């Protein structure tokens, strides 16, 4: 490993830790607190907005990468702008709640920037449109799923490592940096939450992971369906919960506690246990992903479809059990 990496990667972790510590003290001074409530899964007032540490760490890493690889400056600049837009609207919402449609419009603008990068790299307009839709969805999915201690951060760590393992250097560093930035935040949020990520962090994490998926789709030959497998825990829980709310005529954009992980908490399980179970499922997901990433595209698609069917069946079984 080059000396620069041996210095730079631990620095990413240290910066994330220091910035999270600073974000917590800022939130306490500004009384930026998440209060307990019927639609919340925590029982005590807790500072929020700690995800800004992950965002700033990623932006600093992108700036360093732009210096190291001048040819990638434009791409890194566009990604950084999109990340800043998603984080910025989340930061605003953490301080002064905004209408959902306003946040969604900003998410779509940021997703369009990422889609433009995919179009430029792949030459496929269809690929670019799919990237826009996927990115907009993942930004909101990560926000929906950030409801208990450690769950969103630990899943992001797994995703970062999963994509780092299948991409060539230097692209793999993007996944490693994301994992380290999240790891620096995690001790402040798990097992006991001393600060929450807030919308500034959860939405930005969704954007960063979407960028990793898009990057992997253009620098590897892996079927795009298989690229979804490391994210399957969140895609299945958020996707089918949203679908069930829409089919039942509920206001699906409102905050709620109907996700599988929230039902488990309401049934008496601890945050630590539920996050650990999602982490174990995530480990199985990235193992399947890594083991099958060298197959022919049609077999990768078959594996992905089979895994998603399995994940959906497990979700239905557990959800029905918690309902009863």
- Tokens, residue 111: 């997703």
Assess whether pLDDT exceeds 60 at residue 106: yes
Q: What is the pLDDT of residues 122-135, one digit of tens each?
A: 989 999 999 999 99
Domain containing 230 equals 3-323
Strand partners, 47: 33
- CB atoms near residue 159 (< 10 Å): 28
Q: Which helix (H) or strand (E) holds 153?
A: helix 151-166
pLDDT class of 250 with cuts at 50, 70, 90:
low
Strands (E), the chain: 33-34, 46-47
SS3 of residue 165 by DSSP: helix
The model's pTM = 0.94
Assess whether pLDDT exceeds 80 at residue 137: yes
Q: What is the pLDDT of residues 251-302, one digit of tens each?
A: 656 666 778 888 888 888 899 999 999 999 999 999 999 999 998 989 999 9
Count how many domains the chain has.
1
| Residue 8, burial from CB neighbour count under 10 angstroms (0-12, 13-18, 19+) | middle
- For 277, phi and psi rounded to 5 degrees? -65, -40
Q: What distance in Å separates the CA atoms of residue 206 and residue 208, rounded to the nearest whole number? A: 6
pLDDT over 90 percentage in the chain = 68
SS3 of residue 295 by DSSP: coil
Model pLDDT, residue 50 = 92
Length of the chain: 324
Q: What distance in Å separates the CA atoms of residue 106 and residue 104, rounded to the nearest whole number? A: 5
């Amino acid at each position: 490993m080059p000396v620069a990496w041996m210095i730079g990667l631990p620095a990413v972790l240290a910066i994330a830790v220091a910035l999270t510590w600073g974000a917590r003290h800022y939130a306490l001074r500004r009384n930026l607190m998440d209060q307990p409530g019927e639609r919340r899964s925590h029982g005590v007032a807790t500072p929020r907005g700690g995800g800004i540490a992950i965002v700033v760490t990623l932006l600093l890493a992108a700036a360093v990468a732009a210096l190291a690889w001048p040819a990638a400056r434009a791409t890194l600049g566009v990604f950084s702008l999109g990340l800043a837009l998603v984080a910025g609207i989340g930061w605003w919402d953490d301080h002064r709640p905004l209408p959902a449609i306003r946040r969604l419009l900003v998410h779509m603008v940021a997703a369009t920037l990422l889609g433009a990068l995919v179009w430029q790299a792949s030459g496929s307009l269809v690929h670019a449109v799919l990237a826009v839709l996927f990115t907009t969805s993942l930004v909101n999915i990560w926000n929906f799923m950030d409801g208990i201690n450690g769950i969103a951060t630990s899943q992001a760590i797994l995703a970062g490592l999963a994509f780092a393992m299948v991409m060539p250097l230097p692209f793999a560093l993007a996944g490693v940096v994301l994992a380290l930035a999240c790891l620096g935040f995690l001790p402040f949020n798990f097992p006991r939450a001393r600060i929450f990520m807030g919308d500034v962090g959860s939405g930005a994490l969704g954007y960063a992971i979407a960028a990793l998926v898009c990057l992997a789709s253009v620098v590897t030959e892996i079927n795009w369906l298989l690229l979804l497998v490391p994210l399957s825990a969140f895609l299945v829980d958020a996707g089918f919960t949203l679908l069930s709310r829409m089919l039942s005529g509920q206001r699906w954009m409102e905050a709620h506690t109907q996700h599988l992980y929230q039902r488990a908490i309401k049934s008496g399980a601890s945050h630590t246990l539920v996050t650990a179970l999602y982490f174990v499922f995530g480990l199985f997901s990235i193992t399947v992903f890594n083991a099958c990433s060298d197959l022919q595209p049609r077999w990768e698609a078959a594996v992905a479809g089979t895994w998603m069917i399995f994940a959906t069946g497990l979700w239905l079984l557990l959800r029905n059990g918690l309902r009863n």
